[in-house]
Every structure is written in structure tokens, then in C-alpha cells.
Chain A
Amino acid sequence: MFGLKTANETIDAIDRFLTLVDEAGIIFTEGIKSYLSGQQEHFLDKVKKLSHYENEGDAIRRQIANVLYTESLMPQLRSDILKLLEDLDNLLDISKACLVQFDIEHPKFPELIIPDLILLTEASAKASMSVVPGAKDYFRRPMQVRDSLNHVFLYEKEADRIGEMIKRTVYNQIAELTDLAHKNQIRYFVSKIEELSDAAEAAADLLLIMAVKRSI
């Protein structure tokens, strides 16, 4: 039967995992900003950092899953908790995959949409980072989860709005953009950035249900 040491190690692991998700949001924002401002070296550094975060996140998630099952920890809650960790890990995966895709394709963006792209990146990353306080509350103050997650839904809507605006601009308002393939590529990257806030919203929805089950 598991004891105090295992319990403390598991709590530490969960906290470390949540910190990774939180910091990944900052790195994601910095990475895209670096790319858009042409700071290639800085951008590559962020890609490398996010890859490292993603690997570490996977390792911690497996470690937690292993403890939950081998020690028969929280039998009623563990499948929900593992699903939550998977959803949060997905945020790391999406952030990394997005930056890697920038590195592979080197897309070119018209100057007109760059400020909006930065706003979109910030909104999407903030949605992702706002899941973390909700997740922390789930583990310690389940009654507060709903309040903590309000920002996620707010930023997700904002990201959707900006994303749609950029796409409309790209397809309808920039005369020098004549190549449909180029327009489609920009749309793809806008959607790729939006993917992060969508995944954050999915994680927040899961957390809301989990919090109801968790309250005694």
C-alpha cells in the first residue's frame, strides 16, 4: 500500500507537469513572435525548448500513470485524472508541432496580418495557460474550478474571432496575395495556432465535469 513518500512524489510530479504546460504557453508565444520578427536563432531555440518540454511531459505523465495503477491510487478518479493529463499533454504536443511546422515550411506572411497573428498567438497561448490554474484547483479546491476556467473560454472565443478575421483578410482584402496555394498555407498556419486554444477548451470542459465528480 502506498505511503506518504509516494503521495508526496506524485503531488510533486503533478505540479511539475502543470508547470511545464504553463511555461510551454510562454515559449510558444515567444517562438512565433521570434519567427514573425525574423529572429531565426531565437526561434530555433524555442523549438528545441518546446521539444524538450514535450518529452519531459510525456515522461512525467507515464510516471504518474504508473503510480496510479501500481499503487491502486484513487481508483474512482484515476481514469479521469489520466484523461486530464493526456489532454494537457496534448497542449504541449500541439505547441511543439506548430513550431516545428513553421520550421519546416517557413511560411511567409504579409505585413498587414502580422500584428493580428501575434494577437492570435497570444490569445491561443493564454487560453492554454489559463487551463493550469483550473487544473491546480481541481486537485486542491474543486469548488473553485468553474471560476478559474472562465478565462479559458474567454481567450478561446477571442482566438476564434481573430483567426476568422485573419482568414477573411487573407482571402478577400490583400490584393498582392494572388496565389491560392499561399493563401491556403496562411490559413493552415492560422488554424494550427487556433488548434491550441481549441484543445485548451476541450481540457477545460473535461475539468468542469471532473470537478463535479470530485466534490464530496
Chain B
Amino acid sequence: MLFFVFLSGGLFLGWSLGANDTSNIFGTAVGSRMIKFKTAAIIAAIFVVVGSVVQGISGAETLNKLSSVTTLSGAFMVSLCSALIVYWMTKRALPVSTSQAIVGAIIGWSFYAGINPNYSTMIEIALTWISSPILGMIISAMLYLIIREIVNRSKIHVVMLNLITRYGLIVIGAFGAYSLGANNIANVIGVFIPSAPDLSFNLGFIKISTTDTLLFLGGLSISVGIISYGEHVMNKIGKEIMFLTPEIAFIVVLSQSLVLFIFSSKELSLLLSYVGISIPQVPISSTHAVIGSILGIGLIKKGREVNFRVVKQIVLGWIFTPIVAAIITYIMLFFAQNVFKLNVY
């Protein structure tokens, strides 16, 4: 029972992830009323759980390679501090990344526990923060050029294009939700895996491991976030980015989903390793992938829609978020250990 109390820190993070980050996937479609929120929420809730359970383990393994949080109370504090920094930065309208916050918090825990984090993993993760928006830019720019060419050459009627885009947004939205679950579930439950008690059980035809149960619970918390609070955020985001045409929204969502998928698929990583490309399975920021994707299209359109203030904010976020998260976690762990007498490491 105590485990579930501690797990609530991670589940809270999952809830806020569901409430906020799915707006990157379905925001434009729902905000512009191309898709009803109910439809979007059901699709996102289902596919986020599927993605978490099927493919979510890879990112969690990488996080635990960085440093393995050995106690439940320590994992709780790491999750809580990450959630607080995400909440604080979101309030200030900064494009915050849950992934950066959790990595910073894990490093803060490592220093507090007197354990050196794995620096090569740290560098590997930090590089993905830079490479993921850049990859988003490249993918969206390529998709934009291809789709623009197809649309212009096909002479398709605008009504039919709208129909195709609408159904395309649903299909890509499902893929996006799957990729979000697969990639970001590590932020939600990754730190709890080393210290979790035995939660495995046998369904008769299939044995469910402790990690599977955690991945499922984490995915469920994201789904609850989508259903309970997603409508508000999706409507807001959708209206804010209404300058995007549905076709561009489709490209941005597809590009973002591909980036998330690339950084969470073991199979794809293995395949790319044969051609000498190394892609680590790391939880990345879906918001940064979206911003990178929008910038990619903006650059093709000769920078007309590029907001360089946002680029500056992202770069500052790469430095600011993990450092602040590490410091806050360090301080909070001190309080938890000395005031509440919790065994945090």
C-alpha cells in the first residue's frame, strides 16, 4: 500500500503529461473542431497505454543506466520534484520538458546519495535534447516538401483534401499517442522500477511482470490526464496555433510522432546501427519535437513563421531545467531525510 502512496508522485507526473503533452498531438485537430475531443481522447487514451506497455521499457532502462534510484522514497522525491519544476515552468509559459526535469532530478539524487551518475549516459541523453528538435526540423521539412508537391500536383479538391487530412489526423494522432506513451512513460515510472516490490501476476495465458504492471499503471495515469484535463489544454493550444493549416498540422504531428518513435524503438535503433547510426532510447520532450517540426517548415518557407524567441527559450531550457531540477531535488531530499526521516537512498 505504501508503494502506491510513493508511486503517486510518478502518477501525478503521468497525469500532467497526459493533460499537457497530448495537446501537441490532437491540439490543432480538436481546437479547430476537425475532430471532437471525445474521439481524440478515446484514441489517445488507448494508444498511449498500448505504447507504454509495448515499447516503454527502453527509455526507462536508459534512465536507470544514468543512475538507479534505489529506494521508494527517493524515487517519490525525484518524481515529485520533477512534477513541481514542470508545473512551475508551465505556469511561466516556458516550453518545459518533463524529460529534462526528471534527468536533472535523478542527477540531484545521485549527488545527494554520493553516487556518481553515469556521465557517458548523461552526455548521451543531453545530446538527444539537441538532436531531437533538429531531427524534428529535418523530418518536417522533408515531409513538407513531399506533401506540398503531392498536393500541388494531384489537383485534389479542397473538400476532399480536408476529408483526407481529417482522417489522417486521427491515424497519425493514434501513432503520436502510441509514440508518446512509448517514449515518455520512462519519465513517469522509470525511477520506480529498481525499487518496486513484486507486482507480477499470472493471467493464465500470459505472465505480467512487475515492470509491465508499472508501465500499464503509468500509461493509465497519462490516459486519466488526457480524459480529465486534456480538453481544456487542447482547445487552448488549438486556438493558439490556428495559423497552421490542417495539412501543416498533419505534417507537424507526423514528424513529432516519428521523432518520439525513433527515440523509443529498440528494433529501429538496431536496424540503424547496421548503417552506422546510433540512436539511444531516451525519453525526449514532445514539445521540443513539435517546436522543431514547426521550425523546419518555417525555414522552408524562408523563415516567415519562425519565432526565434522560442528557439532561445529552448536552448535556455536545455541548461536551465536540469540544473534547477537537480538543485531543487537535492534540497528536497535533505528535508525529506532530516525532517521526515525518510530513507531516500
Contacts and interface: CB of A to CB of B under 8 A. Distances in A.
B148 A139 contact: no
Interface residues of A, number: 22
B42 interface: no
Interface residues of B, number: 25
A101 interface: no
B206 interface: no
B152 A75 contact: no
A139 B160 CA distance: 10
B34 A11 contact: no
A74 B162 contact: yes
Interface in B134-178: 144, 147-148, 151-152, 155-160, 162-163, 166
Contacts of B212: none
A209 to B, nearest CB: 15
A113 interface: no
Contact of A74 (B144, B151, B158, B248): B158
B245 interface: yes
A200 interface: no
Interface string A128-172: 000000000011110100000000000000000000000000000
Given A74-B158, A140-B155, A141-B155, 20 more contacts: A1-B35, A1-B36, A1-B39, A4-B163, A7-B159, A7-B162, A74-B159, A74-B162, A75-B32, A77-B158, A77-B162, A81-B158, A138-B158, A139-B157, A139-B159, A140-B156, A140-B157, A143-B152, A214-B158, A216-B144
Interface of B: 32-36, 39, 144, 147-148, 151-152, 155-160, 162-163, 166, 242, 245-248
18 contacts: A1-B35, A1-B36, A2-B163, A4-B163, A7-B162, A10-B159, A11-B159, A11-B160, A72-B33, A73-B159, A74-B162, A75-B32, A75-B33, A76-B246, A81-B158, A140-B156, A141-B152, A216-B148
